[in-house]
């Protein structure tokens, strides 16, 4: 392969051809000279295939952050290299710069650093490494390309975790949780509570809370206090079927569901409850069970990171069967899906009674702002009339689905994207405060 220099040299030779008596013969001579120089330079170029490659650097990033991955070039030969190195990644990895210029001495190593700023969640792999070694005259070069499947290319993947922007609501929700604990402690015994501690009787306390054995031991009236029952179970079920790909605002519906699930899981963990996760469409895509303490959130974000919407319709029979198989105790099932008559009417509603009979079910859906825009369209012309009618029809279909779900004892949340994670967690706290978990 040649660079731009032979072309420049040939152009300079053309400018002198016309002064010779036999220009065509002179032109042939110039071409032969240029070709000879290129061939000589190519023969003197060191083989870039002898360079050994390895990697180091960032393996995990949160969406929106920037990390660095180092590509280490090892030269085991006695030749020196002048290299252009192209470390290519998937476009959504946001790798910069495009290429690196490296001077690699004999039996030495060099390190090139690529900055990674991903624009999507999931696994962002390094695709290939291209090494271009130039000859001493700069007229020719040798190039070798190591694809990802090549044994010479060190595999490297950066896992991009969700942003978890909804964590900005965490202080508020934890404050509500602490208030809930204090309020329930003095409320007395009831469904969804468990024994907390003993304290002295205060005028106004329910006499049914008096612990007579403790009273006899202390020679003072002692009452029992209660707190919200801990070790309850919360199951986040993410619908990753075709409806999760619909864009609400700037992001697909699944991104908002992930934010809400992470906020809910974090608050439930602080409340002492156990959180499980199931993500499924026509098959189970991710599942997290039996995680407690500080291991819960890392496991959740790691499982949610590679999730993307599928093109298939969600098999709710599979989803319900998986929930019933894994959750034997009564739990709060939070189903993140879309209120679409086709998907829920034919898929979820026939199997919902089996789930609602054993668990408390919350269907959490994002409110589509397009429907509101259609309904609010002023009927100035025929097109506007059709748009308004379409919006009213879509809203009526959603209301019909909500009524059908409510008849089965299911609670339905339909909230806008900007408040969706907060509203889902508020419903959980409300259920916990009223002892309905």
239-266 per-position pLDDT tens digit: 999 989 988 878 899 999 999 999 999 9
Encoded tokens for 357? 């009979």
User: What would the mean pLDDT of 96-112 be, rounded to a whole number?
Assistant: 90
| Mean per-residue pLDDT over the chain, rounded | 83
Cα 130 to Cα 2, 3, 38, 133: the distances in Å are 16, 16, 22, 10
Position 125 pLDDT exceeds 60: yes
The residue among 16, 36, 31, 50 whose CA lies nearest residue 139 is 36
pLDDT at 257: 94
Percent of the residues in the chain that have a pLDDT greater than 90, as a whole number: 33
Contact 166, 263 (CB under 8 A): yes
Q: Coil, strand, or helix at residue 242?
A: helix
Tally of CB atoms within 10 A around 429: 19
Number of H helices, E strands in the chain: 12, 20
145-200 per-position pLDDT tens digit: 887 666 667 788 999 999 899 999 999 999 888 887 655 444 455 555 555 667 77
Position 214 pLDDT exceeds 90: no
366-423 per-position pLDDT tens digit: 888 777 777 766 677 777 788 788 888 888 888 888 888 898 889 999 988 889 999 9
The residue among 196, 194, 168, 234 whose CA lies nearest residue 429 is 234
């Amino acid at each position: 392969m040649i660079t731009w220099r032979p072309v420049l040299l040939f152009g300079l030779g053309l400018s002198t051809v016309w002064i010779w008596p036999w220009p065509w013969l002179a032109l042939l001579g110039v071409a032969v000279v240029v070709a000879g120089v290129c061939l000589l330079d190519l023969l003197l170029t060191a083989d870039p295939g002898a360079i050994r490659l390895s990697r180091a650097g960032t393996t995990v990033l949160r969406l929106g952050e920037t990390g660095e991955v180092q590509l280490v070039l090892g030269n085991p030969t006695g030749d020196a290299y002048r290299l252009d190195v192209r470390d290519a990644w998937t476009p959504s990895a946001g790798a910069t710069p495009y290429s690196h210029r490296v001077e690699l001495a004999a039996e030495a190593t060099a390190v090139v650093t690529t900055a990674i700023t991903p624009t999507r969640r999931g696994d962002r792999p390094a695709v290939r490494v291209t090494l271009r070694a130039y000859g001493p005259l700069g007229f020719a070069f040798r190039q070798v390309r190591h694809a990802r499947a090549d044994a010479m290319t060190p595999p490297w993947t950066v896992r991009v975790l969700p942003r978890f922007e909804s964590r900005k609501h965490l202080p508020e929700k934890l404050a509500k949780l602490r208030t809930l604990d204090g309020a329930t402690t003095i409320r007395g015994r009831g469904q969804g509570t468990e024994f907390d501690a003993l304290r002295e009787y205060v005028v106004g306390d329910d006499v049914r809370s008096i612990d007579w054995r403790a009273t006899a031991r202390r020679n003072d009236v002692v009452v029992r206090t209660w707190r919200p029952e801990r070790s309850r179970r919360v199951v986040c079920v993410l619908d990753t079927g075709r409806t999760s790909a619909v864009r609400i605002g700037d992001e697909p519906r699944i991104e908002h569901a992930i934010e809400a699930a992470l906020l809910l899981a974090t608050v439930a963990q602080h409340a002492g409850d156990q959180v499980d996760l199931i993500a499924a469409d026509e098959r189970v895509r991710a599942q997290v069970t039996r995680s407690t303490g500080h291991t819960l959130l890392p496991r959740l974000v790691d499982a949610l990171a590679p999730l993307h919407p599928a093109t298939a319709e969600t098999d709710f029979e599979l989803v319900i069967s998986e929930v019933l198989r894994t959750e034997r105790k009564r739990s709060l099932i939070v189903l993140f899906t879309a209120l679409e008559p086709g998907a829920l009417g034919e898929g979820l509603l026939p199997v919902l009674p089996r789930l609602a009979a054993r668990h408390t079910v919350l269907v959490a859906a994002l409110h589509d702002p397009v429907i509101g825009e259609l309904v609010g369209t002023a009927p100035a012309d025929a097109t506007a009339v059709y748009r308004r009618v379409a919006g009213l029809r879509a809203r009526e279909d959603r209301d019909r689905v909500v009524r059908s779900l409510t008849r089965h004892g299911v609670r339905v949340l339909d909230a806008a994207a900007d408040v969706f994670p907060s509203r889902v967690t508020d419903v959980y706290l409300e259920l916990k405060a009223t002892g309905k978990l």
